[in-house]
Amino acid sequence: MMMSNLTPAVVLKTRFVLSNNDHFKDYIDYVDRDDAKQEQGSHEKLFSLYQDYMDNPDKTSDLFTSSSYKLSKEEKKDLKKQFETAQENKSIMWQDVISFDNKWLQENGIYDSKTHTVDEKKLIDVTRMSMNEMLKREGLEKSAVWSGAIHFNTDNIHIHVATVEPNPTRERGKRKPKTLDAMKSKVVNNILDRSQEQKKINDLIRKNMVESKKNDSSLKWKNRDIKPLFKNIYNNLPEDKKQWNYANNSIKHLRPHIDEMTKKYIEKHHKKDYDEFIKKLDKEVDVLRKTYGEGSNDKKRYENYKQNKVDDLYKRMGNAFLKEMRDYDKQQQNIKRESERKNYSSNQKSFKSGYSLNFAMKKMEKAFSNEYDSWKNQRHYEKLQRDIEYENER
């Protein structure tokens, strides 16, 4: 059975109109009305392309801008003048509608279905963030002005925004797809505050598992299953230690072995943390799926979220192992140097000892030879003396 596509919790509809379009003047008339909340139906002229968002309106908020939550009469006059100047100067008008699923707004504390009250300030704040992002990305920060209004009904609350340039800097109305995605993301991320949940996910990766690994030697007896994998990878690493990084292509062939070592380590020492990590990731994906829906473009916002986080964990764990291998390599090099130094010292002592003994033996031989010669000479002398005495006696 195939799952039907979810309706996104936040929808952004957008278009632009030229200065000679009737909708441009309709908006100027809309700005000029006396009381937005009491003037039922006046906003029906506004952004007629979006009538599907305008059916059965209950009420409309006051106009707001980047600097005011509720425009005064003087501010309205000034705004109307800027829009009229923009029309005279043939500016483009960008028209955006941000529509919400009321149930989703209620789940996030923005809307109360029992009292039909809305946190207007929060919606205005997120609209400002969204518009600031749009202006920055489109290079309109210094030239554009915009105003918005919140429209309420029982099906879906929505915000209309109009943007113009009193002194136009561009002729093209089309905005980049990435700009529109960023606008929507600003709205979602500032209503759907998942920062604490995402911090918990990151802490599970960095503090509970990776940091723990950094303080736990792979060569301890309790890690005996990991030890042979560790040494096998170490023995096959390139000589250049600058390449000992998980993301380096020169060790791409070793990544499956590093991942296997990570998997074994987590299963043995962090199974509970990892299970919690996966549950939190599944929850985040579900929240994002309900928020963005299952359209082909919106899916891209979350479909790889879980795998990307798992990949990040394995990358960080892999680099923790590789750092340990660098430390292990330093230790091995120090042991090798110390061993060579000791062998050299021992050989030197042996050489010196041998040299001294030979020298002493030679000296002894020379002394013995001298003594022997002296002894022979003495014996010869004594014999000569006896011979002389013998001759004298005769």
152 phi/psi in degrees, rounded to 5: -115, 140
**Separation between Cα atoms, residue 325 and residue 391, nearest integer Å:** 96
- pLDDT digits over 91-127, tens only? 998 999 999 989 899 888 888 888 788 899 999 999 9
Mean pLDDT value of segment 366-394? 53
25-34, 174-183, 235-244, 372-381: lowest mean pLDDT where? 372-381
- pLDDT digits over 38-66, tens only? 344 444 444 333 333 333 334 456 789 99
Classify burial at 236, counting beta carbons within 10 Å of its beta carbon; exposed 0-12, middle 13-18, buried 19 or more.
exposed
| 27, 195 contact by CB (below 8 A) | no
Percent of the chain with pLDDT over 90: 25
Handedness of CA 107, 113, 119, 123 (dihedral sign): positive
Crossing angle of helices 195-203/271-292, nearest 10°? 150
Residue with tokens 């072995």: 257
**The two structure tokens encoding residue 254:** 């070793």
Confidence of residue 131 (pLDDT cuts 50, 70, 90): very high
Give the side-chain half-sphere CA count within 13 A for 318: 21
Mean pLDDT value of segment 323-346? 80
Residue with tokens 């200065």: 19
**The two structure tokens encoding residue 337:** 């140097």
Cross-strand partners of 152: 59
Q: Which parts of 38-91 fold into alpha helices (H)?
A: 73-88
**Separation between Cα atoms, residue 81 and residue 87, nearest integer Å:** 10
| 12, 97 contact by CB (below 8 A) | yes
**The two structure tokens encoding residue 181:** 């995605």
- Ordered strands of the 158-164 beta sheet: 10-17, 93-100, 158-164, 145-152, 59-60
Give the side-chain half-sphere CA count within 13 A for 263: 8
283 phi/psi in degrees, rounded to 5: -65, -40
Q: Which range is most confident: 134-138, 225-229, 360-364?
A: 134-138
Confidence of residue 25 (pLDDT cuts 50, 70, 90): low
In 10 A of CB 338, how many CB atoms?
A: 10
**The two structure tokens encoding residue 317:** 């764990």
Mapping DSSP to helix (H, G, I), strand (E, B) and coil, where does residue 17 land?
strand
Residue with tokens 């050489």: 351
Q: Give the chain's domains with CATH numbers.
A: 10-191 (3.30.930), 195-341 (no CATH)
Task: Please compute Rg for the chain using Cα positions.
Answer: 43
Short-list 206, 213, 205, CA closest to 281: 205
| 269, 297 contact by CB (below 8 A) | no
Classify burial at 343, counting beta carbons within 10 Å of its beta carbon; exposed 0-12, middle 13-18, buried 19 or more.
exposed
Residue 154 DSSP class: S
**Separation between Cα atoms, residue 324 and residue 319, nearest integer Å:** 8
Tell me if the pTM is above 0.75: no
**Separation between Cα atoms, residue 394 and residue 383, nearest integer Å:** 17
Specify the pLDDT at position 374: 54
49-63, 66-80, 184-198, 329-343: lowest mean pLDDT where? 49-63
Short-list 218, 302, 304, 307, CA closest to 261: 218
Q: What is the end-to-end Cα distance of the chain in Å, rounded?
A: 148
